[in-house]
Each structure stands twice: as structure tokens, then as C-alpha cells.
Amino acid sequence: MPYFPRLLACLLVAGAFTACSRPDEAPIRVGILHSMTGTLAISARPVADATLLAIEEINAQGGLLGRQLEPVIADGASDPDLFALEAERLITKEKVSVVFGCWTSSSRKAVGAVFEKHNHLLFYPVQYEGLEQSPNIVYNGATPNQQVMPAVSYALANFGPRVFLVGGDYVFPRTANAIIRDQVAALGGEVVGELYLPLGGKNVAPMIDAIVTAKPDVILNTINGDSNIAFFRALREAGITPDRLPVVSFSISETELPELGAEAMAGNYAAWNYFQSVDTPENRAFLEKFRARYGADRVVSDPLEAAYFGVFLWAQAVKAAGSAEPAAVLAKIRGQGMRAPGGLAYIDGPTQHTWKYARIGRIRPDGQFDVVWSSEKPVRPMPFPLFRTRADWERWQNDLSASWGGKWVNPRTEDVPVP
């Protein structure tokens, strides 16, 4: 049927216009899958905001391939099983062309099989533990050699060789700390303690007691979400201050500091690839746009920056492919690059991870960071640290999941730290 008669026929059917639109004029639907509620919402909701900002900018510039982008937001509710269900729904029911999302590695692991089954496409914006290379995931966050490992080297060189590890009880902290143990041993240091809280856990008193007893030189922190509020409050109540015992965190950024109390946190450290205080023309423009959209009091962070530039790298691949179909985009995504707010970022051909700068920052009382160390150029991503072979790492991580009944989060229910 010719287009205009077909359009007239469609208009005679109430609500049928969208379904009857020509495919080359219908919006390109894109999924945003984050924890909008639950213990991880403190970190994840701002990342969704940055994703939406990039989508709005692309639409304001005319969209892609002559079509507007239509975001479809889904809530994983801090539950990996729900993340998998929502990923399936976004792909099969909502017919999105791409999904931007996930915070924890347990949520990314939960959805990975869904994207591979459908040969679909996920852009993941958060630093993670490595040991993974899915053909259907573009990793815009840091690999261990771009975040964790530089921080370990910095901590041992500046604070001392005795390290205490704390984390949430799921795949990222457990794996990151296995890598840290290998690196600390290689550098002649000592891990004097290692304890984990369940996600959302607040019973941190035994953890604080163990830290006081062990007398470490530095704490390396992979706790995620609002459990950090309980942990840092308990440190302060125990008289543990950064000048006595610094904490280097891997999941605390500008967006979490207002909840934690930036003034009380001042002097501690975090390892990221981007800080809001980075002084580049691209970052100044990003901050101006973000504040204009969400308010002058809002702050940005590393995962927000990665989520933001990830949308633009996807858009570049869509243009190069002449299609928003996931398989076509995947064929063009490797090698895509741009000057992101934090500096040059581009997708590595062999790994589908992102080359990016590594940075370490010290928390200021105003909730920003002074960058105390930065790599001189973008760091090549290495998903599998060279302390062990890839086969050994994969075996180690599979054994970890098997010990949790095939899950990527420890299913225990007690709210106490465990080794």
C-alpha cells in the first residue's frame, strides 16, 4: 500500500499511528536499565540521568539516521534476578536497539547471558573486576589495570605495606580483592585482614573491631551502595580518621559523598578514571549541560561520565553502520573514539573495553577531589591481569559462583561481615 493511503487508514484506527509509522521514521527505542530503587539507587539513579542527557542532546541535534531516540527506563531494583528479567523484557517486548545500564557486576553477569542469547547489545558504564569479555557488551568502565592496580601501587608506596580489605559480598569485591592480594604479594606487602558485608548490610561493628585489632596502614574499600554510610560513620565513631588510617575506595564518587558527609570524609581517597574537577574544555561543557538540565547543585562522577560518552560512541557506530540493529552496531563499535569529558576514550579492538586515563583523588571538604595521581596517557584495558592465566582466572571465578549456587552474589542472609 502506498504510504499516504496507508497512513490515512492507520489514522482511522485509534492509537494505531505509532504502530503504522514507516520503520525509517519511527523512533529508535533505547533501554536504560538501572537500580532506580533499592540499596544501589544512591549510585545508579544519577547514571541514568547522564544517559538521558546524552540521548536528549542527540535528539536536539536531529536524532540518528533521521529518527529520534526514545528512552525506555527499566528498574532492576538492586536485584540481579530482576535485572535479567527486565533485560529480557526490554529486548523482546519493548524492542529496544541497545541497553545502557547495570551498576554492580552481579547485575551485569545476570544479564550477560540474555544479551548473548539474543545477540543484543549492552553498554556497561562502571568500573569492574575484569575476567570477562562478552561479544555483546561494550565496557566503558575501568578494568583492574585502569583503576584497582594503580591504586594498590599508590597506596603501598604512600601509606605503607599493611593492607586491610573490606567489600560487599558479591563478585566485584571478591574478584578485585583476589587481584589485590596477588599484587600486594608481588610488591612485598601484606594483607592483614579481609571482610565482606552483604549488599545493603549495616552491621559493621565486627569489621571495625577487626580493623582496630589488625592495625593496617591503609584500608582498600570495595563496599558498594548505602552500606558505605554505616561503614564510614562507624570508622569516625571509632576515632579512625584519614590522617591516622586512610581509606582508598573504588565505588565512592562525587554523587555518594553528600550522603556520606563530605566534610567528615575529607582526606580519604578514591580511584577512578574521571573526577568532576578534571579541567578540560569537554568537561566544562559537560558540567554546564548537566547542571542546566538537573540543577546547579548536582554533581557528576566517573560512572556518569562513562555513561554519557558511551551513548555518543554508540551513536557514532550507528552512523557508521547506517543502522541501529545490534549486530550492525557491534560490527562498527571497535575503534570508535572521542574526546570525552575526562580525556580521550576509545574502544579497544581486541577486547571491546575502553582505553581511558587512570586517576587517584583525595576527597576535599566540599565533596570534590584533588587529583593526586594521573596516568600520562590513556591506559590500554587488560580484562585479565597477568598474575594468573586467563584459564586460571576463569576457573577461579566459576568456582566462586558455584559456591554461591550459580549466583554472582553470596546468598547468605545474616547481616554480619564474613571472611
Looking at residue 225, its pLDDT comes to 85
Element (H, E) at 347: strand 343-347
Looking at residue 23, its pLDDT comes to 53
As a residue count, the chain comes to 419
Q: Which amino acid is at 215?
A: K
Residue range 130-176, pLDDT digits in tens: 999 999 999 999 999 999 999 999 999 999 999 999 999 999 999 99
Q: What is the CATH number of domain 145-277+360-403?
A: 3.40.50.2300
Considering the four listed CATH numbers 3.40.50.2300, 3.40.50.150, 3.40.50.300, 3.50.50.60, the one that applies to the domain covering 25-142+281-356 is 3.40.50.2300
Instruction: Measure the CA angle with vertex 194, ends 193 and 196; round to 5°.
Output: 145
Three-state helix/strand/coil letters over 1-65: CCHHHHHHHHHCCCCCHHHHCCCCCCCEEEEEEECCCCCCHHHHHHHHHHHHHHHHHHHHCCCEC
pLDDT band at 24 (very low <50, low <70, confident <90, very high): low
Quick check: do 25-142+281-356 and 145-277+360-403 share a fold? yes
Percentage, residues of the chain above pLDDT 70: 94
Looking at residue 348, its pLDDT comes to 98
Task: Tell me the CA distances in angstroms from 392 to 97, 106, 273, one per residue in order.
Answer: 35, 20, 28
- DSSP, collapsed to helix, strand or coil, labels residue 303 as helix
- The region that residue 2 occupies, defined by phi over 0 for left and psi between -120 and 50 for alpha, beta otherwise, is beta
- The region that residue 60 occupies, defined by phi over 0 for left and psi between -120 and 50 for alpha, beta otherwise, is alpha
Query: What is this structure's pTM?
Result: 0.90
Which of 114-146 are b and which e, b meaning 16 or more Cβ less than 10 Å from the residue's Cβ?
Answer: bbeeeebbbbbbbbbbbbbebebbbbbbbbbbb
**Domain residue ranges in the chain:** 25-142+281-356, 145-277+360-403
Looking at residue 383, its pLDDT comes to 97
pLDDT higher than threshold 90 for residue 408: yes
pLDDT higher than threshold 50 for residue 380: yes
* Interstrand relation of 337-340 and 137-139 (parallel, antiparallel or unpaired): unpaired
Looking at residue 15, its pLDDT comes to 37
Distance CA 114, CA 103 (A): 17
Rounded to an integer, the average pLDDT of 33-57 is: 96
pLDDT higher than threshold 90 for residue 317: yes
Looking at residue 25, its pLDDT comes to 78
Residue 380 grid cell: 590500554
Evaluate the CA torsion angle 397, 403, 407, 411 in order and state its sign: negative
The answer to whether 344 touches 355, Cβ cutoff 8 Å, is yes
Looking at residue 10, its pLDDT comes to 37
pLDDT band at 264 (very low <50, low <70, confident <90, very high): confident
